[in-house]
Chains A and B, each alone.
Chain A
Amino acid sequence: MQTKLAGITISLILCLSTTLVSAQVKDTTDLMDMLDKETASHPVTNYTSATFKTTRLINAHSIENVAGGVMDVKISHRFGEINGGFYELFGLDNASIRIGVDYGITDWLMIGIGRSSYEKQYDGFMKVKLLRQSSGKKNMPLSISGFAGMYYNTLKWSEPDRDNYNTSRINYTFQLLMARKFSEGFSLQLSPTLVHKNLVPLTTDPNDLLSVGIGARQKITKRMSINVEYYYQVPGFKLENTVDPLSIGIDIETGGHVFQFIFTNSTGIAENQYITGTTGKWSKGDIHFGFNISRVFTMKKTKRKETK
């Protein structure tokens, strides 16, 4: 009797355990679950893309590069000051223009040249991606790029009688661009900047000018965003009679074009003119309406591959 009871108990337990085991088997046969587990055990690095719409936040550079083999033709246009009144048709009678071409040598290195009507200045720059914001297998909270630009103005000498050196026409800009895309819509950038001018207007002016840029963009639709850009010039390391530049803009993207409509207190467009040479005051209505138009051409069609 005893053994029989034990036998029944054992077989009952057995039955139970078998159903348990088979239930487990059933669970694992849900292929999607298995697949999800499989992919979860092999995480990939997810690099953040499109922190900003284009390579310029407004006037100065964003951390974005054009991709390798891509040429970007940029036409930047600033009208005159709005407080010129009806006589100047609120600034529309005047214009400051920069025409430039950027090219991506690789996905992480771009170069560009341009010419500004303001101060008849030629410029060239290069921008290198140093770090990319990422999540997943590799975690990186920030994207960081390095920027270096050189500028050569070709204005007639203001004092032709004194000894004028060709090197006096040259300026340099060095920037460390640090940005984070906090969410799909919001990105923030900090840009510590050094501008070196070989020749400054006053003997009391320093040649090395320091500033910190802060810029942000907020997407309002999938193809439109509002941008703000401000450069704080460090007291003692700025030119006299210049003010901090502040710009507000809207990016509109349509296919291969990006239109940027902006309001700024700066007449100059190139980095050295904009960051360290702005004299207009927002409070006095020295505001320029302007736009940047960018058209992208793919010169080299390469099958690009993200590194794993």
Chain B
Amino acid sequence: MKKTIFFLLMLTSIAISTEAQDIYFTRTGKIEFHSGSSLEDIDGVNNEATSMLNVKTGEMAFTLLVKSFTFKRALMEEHFNENYMESTKFPKASFKGKITSMPAINTSSNGSFNVQTEGELTIHGITKKITAPAKLTVNGGKITGVSNFKIVLSDYKIEIPGVVAEKFSKETEIIVTCIYEPRS
């Protein structure tokens, strides 16, 4: 009997430890966006996004501080936070979703996989379902995830005043680059 208990306990602890090993993590995820038109470049970069990826289930989560976006022009950064994103009211943006039909990834052998993702994107306090293509590349035990998709600002109730509307493109391109490492 005691042996059985011990065995079962062993099993559960093994189950827990495998769970932990499946999770890949980054604190320096790069999220870029391009919202400008031919009149003006409106580009922001955030190098401090945190993200987790479960390589077994394909689940993933991203979160970032809106204030950490940097711009080439200081005033643009101020307007981004004050007028458009209202970053005091909505300090975070996040994405929670999964890779549909997650390929069997062996993190010990290099390779790359084209995948589809879907989930909920929260910007400016508004949550919308989105889908986006992505590419996962395994190299030396690290996983690089890259995705490129477009959103429409008005979907997230980000208002652009008429006077500057021509400076904005209709759709905002978002580029995600995350280099994940196993979570210790």
Contacts and interface: CB of A to CB of B under 8 A. Distances in A.
Given A10-B1, A14-B5, A254-B163, A29 B63 contact: no
A67 interface: yes
Contacts of A38: 25, 27, 50, 52
B149 to A, nearest CB: 20
Given A296-B75, A306-B68, A35 B61 contact: yes
Nearest to A31: B61
Interface stretch (A43-51, A93-101, A125-133, A192-200): A43-51
A7 interface: yes
Contacts of A256: 75
A40 B67 CA distance: 16
Contacts, number: 102
A42 B70 contact: no
Interface residues of A, number: 43
B3 interface: no
B19 A7 contact: no
A117 to B, nearest CB: 29
A137 to B, nearest CB: 12
A31 B74 contact: no
Interface string B67-85: 1101111110111011100
Interface in A283-304: 296, 298, 301-304
A305 B70 contact: yes
A205 interface: no
Contact of A32 (B15, B25, B75, B94): B94
B15 A22 contact: yes
A220 interface: no
Contacts of A12: none
B59 A18 contact: no
Interface size class of B (residues with CB under 8 A): 35 or more
Contact of A44 (B4, B45, B65): B65
Contacts of A39: 50, 63
B12 interface: yes
Contacts of B81: 49-50
B75 A35 contact: no
Contacts of A222: 82-83, 86
Contacts of A46: 65, 67, 91
B75 A67 contact: yes
A154 interface: no
B96 A32 contact: yes
Nearest to B27: A42
Contacts of B8: 14, 18
Contacts of A303: 45, 70, 72
A31 B96 contact: yes
Contacts of B50: 35, 38-39
A151 to B, nearest CB: 28
Contact of B52 (A21, A34, A42): A34
A42 B26 CA distance: 13
Contact of B19 (A11, A25, A42, A49): A25
A298 to B, nearest CB: 5
A138 interface: no
A220 to B, nearest CB: 14
A155 to B, nearest CB: 37
Given A34-B23, A298-B74, 10 more contacts: A10-B5, A22-B12, A25-B16, A31-B59, A32-B63, A35-B51, A38-B50, A44-B65, A254-B163, A302-B72
17 contacts: A10-B5, A25-B15, A29-B19, A29-B59, A34-B23, A35-B63, A36-B63, A39-B63, A42-B27, A49-B78, A50-B82, A67-B74, A255-B163, A298-B74, A301-B72, A302-B72, A306-B68
